[in-house]
């Protein structure tokens, strides 16, 4: 197994960049993590991190729609995705190593120049996701959410990631 070359540095703007070179592989994973998740929310704004994560994929400067944004990564032979957890939100792309700079540029634009289009469409999508966690009577059935609610009660860690 080849040795990995790991570099960890902090840019002048405070952004931490970690690179792990694995030259024996033929794809690169690019992750952008934001310290935004349900742990950092209150009952009043619960679900906001998850909503913003979704909205970043709706389009940005240069890629005005979600279709155009996804096509830009797919044109690089890559895939694009994101998720929100209790501690962070993640945005990630998988591309051939020769397209890392292009993918990073697209992700940076998505993160810094997002247009936040189609709010009501995304609201509907998230409401549908929320229905996955409840039964036909509206009772919470997601074991992770139930366990966190019981363990952390009124603390932000007890709130569902997707919001209420």
Q: Read off the tokens for 125.
A: 């999508």
Specify the pairing of strand 28-34 against strand 79-84: unpaired
Query: Annotated catalytic residue: which of 53, 74, 120, 122?
Result: 53
The answer to whether residue 53 is catalytic is yes
Q: How far apart are CA 124 and CA 10, in angstroms?
A: 38
Q: What gap in Å lies between CA 64 and CA 84, rounded to an integer?
A: 23
Query: How far lies 95's CA from each of 19, 109, 151, in Å?
Result: 15, 17, 39
Q: How far apart are CA 93 and CA 77, in angstroms?
A: 10
Residues annotated catalytic, as ranges: 53
């Amino acid at each position: 197994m080849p040795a990995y070359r790991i570099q960890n540095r902090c840019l002048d703007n405070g952004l931490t960049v970690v690179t792990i070179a694995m030259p024996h592989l033929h794809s690169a994973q690019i992750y952008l993590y934001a310290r935004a998740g349900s742990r950092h929310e209150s009952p009043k704004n619960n679900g906001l991190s998850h909503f913003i994560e979704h909205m970043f994929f709706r389009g940005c400067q240069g890629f005005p729609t979600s279709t155009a944004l996804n096509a830009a990564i797919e044109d690089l032979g890559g895939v694009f995705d994101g998720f929100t957890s209790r501690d962070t939100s993640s945005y990630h792309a998988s591309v051939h190593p020769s397209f890392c700079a292009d993918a990073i540029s697209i992700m940076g634009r998505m993160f810094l120049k997002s247009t936040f289009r189609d709010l009501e469409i995304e609201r509907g999508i998230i409401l549908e996701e929320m229905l996955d966690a409840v039964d036909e009577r509206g009772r919470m059935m997601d074991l992770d959410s139930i366990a966190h609610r019981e363990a952390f009660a009124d603390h932000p860690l007890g709130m569902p990631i997707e919001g209420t």
